[in-house]
Amino acid sequence: MMPVLSVRGLKVSIRTDEGMAEILDDVGLELERGRILGVVGESGCGKSTLIRAIMGILPRGATIDRGEVWFEGENLLAFSEAELNDQVRSSRIGFIPQDPLLALNPVFKVGTQMLEVMRWHAPDAKDPTGPRGGARRKAHVARLVGLLRRMQVPDPETALERYPHQFSGGQRQRLLIAAALACAPGLVIADEPTTALDVTTQHQILLLLRELVAEFGISLMFVTHDFGVVAELCDDLCVIYAGQTVEKGPVQAILEAPSHPYTRALLACHPDRATTFLGIPGSVPSPLARPPGCLFAPRCTDARTLCLAGRPPQGLAPSGAEVRCVQFA
């Protein structure tokens, strides 16, 4: 079966004051329909840039040097900004941001913001035969209220009339999940949506997401730095280090037998909640000056001379995971 989302060999660099920074070097991942893909990496590894590249919202000065982003059989990189806006964002790819407080516009009512999205991207938005104007808006409101109720937001009818700061953190995240689903997209990208929440709320949100994937028939790309979350939620896993996919495959397989030394080191540090990476000696090479060999080699306990010679190729590990390490080449 063709994956919903497939990223191949993506390379993105950004012009900075100090020179060209290679944020993404070689990222590849696949997300199958109806599954949940966890994308894991340290902060600064390029996770946000990956999301931005998929959505087509790269910061000024950033260029895609190489690679492909296939979504439902179309190459998103070939889309113009207007096409992305018209045909992809919200309507086909929903987005759940990291910090629900900062992501909502503080000076507009929640309803205004959500309806603004639906006005342009809801399934009936471009339907010339469907209801128009006030009637269509009414339909949108009804759908939103339904969604909010499903998300267990209290008082869903009045919620639309309130401002973001009048909700608690967990409620805001539920609002954003509802917003992501409002236009019935096939794919939802979630950017560390639980980081800002306390542990209990975090757990509730994860449960909710798990249910929604099945209920709404969506595929979910879940970006996080937290292996614990991945273990709880995801079907597949993609580990990114210094702008490269180093290991990808089914979650179960990788967690049981991590193949790449980086994945191993991560899991060794904090098998459950790998939120800090202090356990790995050395530091990530600067994106301004990537060494020629394996990017993890300077920190790798198993590094050999071969590792410094050139970028290691992808190989298949016994666990079934694709791994970027000379051991499996």
In the complex with other proteins, the residue whose CB is nearer, 73 or 106, is 106
Span from 2-10, 49-57, 147-155, 299-307 in contact with other proteins (CB under 8 A): 49-57
In the complex, what is the shortest distance from the CB of residue 38 to other proteins, in angstroms, rounded to a whole number? 20
Sign for the CA dihedral angle at 206, 209, 215, 220 comes to negative
Question: Binding-site residue total for other proteins (CB under 8 A)?
Answer: 31
What is the Cα 72 distance to its own chain's centre?
17
Contact at 8 Å (CB) between 251 and 220? Answer: no
Give the range of 95-103, 134-142, 239-247, 305-313 binding other proteins by CB under 8 A: 95-103
Q: Binding segment for other proteins among 101-109, 261-269, 273-281, 315-323 (CB under 8 A)?
A: 101-109
Nearer to other proteins, 63 or 105 (CB): 105
The CA distance from 288 to 305, in Å, is 23
What's the CA angle centered on 182, arms 60 and 135, to 5 degrees?
A: 115
d(CA 77, CA 64): 9
We find the least distance from the C-beta atom of residue 47 to other proteins, in angstroms, to be 14
Strands (E) across 89-235 are located at 93-96, 187-191, 219-224
Question: Toward other proteins, which CB reaches closer, 47 or 299?
Answer: 47
State which residue, 117 or 323, has the beta carbon closest to other proteins.
117
Q: Which window, 79-87, 223-231, 243-251, 255-263, contacts other proteins (CB under 8 A)?
A: 79-87
Question: Of 14, 20, 57, 231, which lies in the binding site for other proteins, with binding defined by CB under 8 A?
Answer: 57
Instruction: Confirm or reject binding of residue 80 to other proteins (CB under 8 A).
Output: no
- Chain positions 147 to 176 lying near other proteins, rule: CB under 8 A, are 163, 165
Q: Is 129 helix (H, G, I), strand (E, B) or coil?
A: coil
- Residue 247 to residues 51, 94, 314: CA-CA distances in angstroms? 18, 26, 9
User: Is residue 25 within 8 Å of residue 244, measured between CB atoms?
Assistant: yes
**Interface with other proteins (CB under 8 A), residue from 15, 43, 63, 108:** 108
Binding segment toward other proteins, per CB under 8 A, in 6-14, 106-114, 242-250, 308-316: 106-114
122 sits near other proteins (criterion: CB under 8 A): no
Cβ–Cβ contacts within 10 Å for residue 38, how many? Answer: 26
Contact between 270 and 70 (Cβ < 8 Å): no
240 — phi, psi (to 5°)?
-115, 135
8, 29, 241, 290 from 70: Cα distances, Å: 8, 10, 22, 27
By CB under 8 A, tell whether 98 contacts other proteins.
Answer: yes
Does residue 117 belong to the site contacting other proteins (CB under 8 A)?
yes
Residues near other proteins, by CB under 8 A: 17, 52, 55, 57, 81, 84-86, 88-91, 95, 97-99, 102-108, 113, 116-117, 120-121, 163, 165, 179
